[in-house]
């Protein structure tokens, strides 16, 4: 099971950066109205086999928290997309993927877990 932590406030962005210096962080930006986003979310949850001590996984409902989603894009200087997965490690963006390029296999590759 994927242990999502909810991203709901702009103040959490600084915590993500700092936290990624201890353990990598993934932020999944999800549109609840998009069938592709829903499919990617289901696939991530079904295939998830990354231990909680290897990665902190955050979930951002970008329709409910659009301002926060915009702040994430601005802070990390990446173009907003949906669905989107952003991986932070050592305080920096290591990878930003979107749509069908989001997968557990690719997360593991970025984190050198495979």
Q: Are 93 and 109 spatial neighbours (Cβ–Cβ below 8 Å)?
A: no
Which helix (H) or strand (E) segment holds residue 6: the answer is: strand 5-6
Question: Taking the domain 5-111, which CATH number applies?
Answer: 3.40.30.10
Q: Are 44 and 104 spatial neighbours (Cβ–Cβ below 8 Å)?
A: yes
For 67-99, what is each residue's pLDDT tens digit? Answer: 999 999 999 999 888 899 999 999 999 999 999
Token digits for 19?
């936290």
Average pLDDT of span 91-113: 93
Domain map (residue ranges) of the chain: 5-111
pLDDT at 57: 97
For 11-46, what is each residue's pLDDT tens digit? Answer: 999 999 999 999 999 999 999 899 999 999 999 999
**Which stretches of 9-103 are DSSP H helices?**
12-19, 35-47, 66-76
What are the backbone dihedrals phi and psi of residue 92, each rounded to the nearest 5 degrees, phi first? -130, 155
């Amino acid at each position: 099971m994927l242990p999502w932590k909810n991203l709901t406030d702009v103040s959490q962005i600084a915590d993500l950066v700092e936290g990624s210096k201890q353990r990598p962080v993934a932020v999944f930006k999800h549109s609840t109205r998009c069938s592709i986003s829903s499919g990617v979310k289901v696939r991530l949850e079904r295939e998830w086999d990354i231990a909680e001590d290897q990665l902190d996984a955050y979930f951002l409902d970008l329709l409910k928290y659009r301002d926060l989603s915009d702040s994430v894009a601005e802070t990390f200087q990446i173009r907003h997309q949906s669905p989107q997965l952003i991986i932070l490690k050592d305080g920096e963006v290591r990878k930003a993927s979107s749509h069908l390029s989001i997968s557990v296999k690719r997360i593991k590759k970025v984190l050198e877990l495979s």
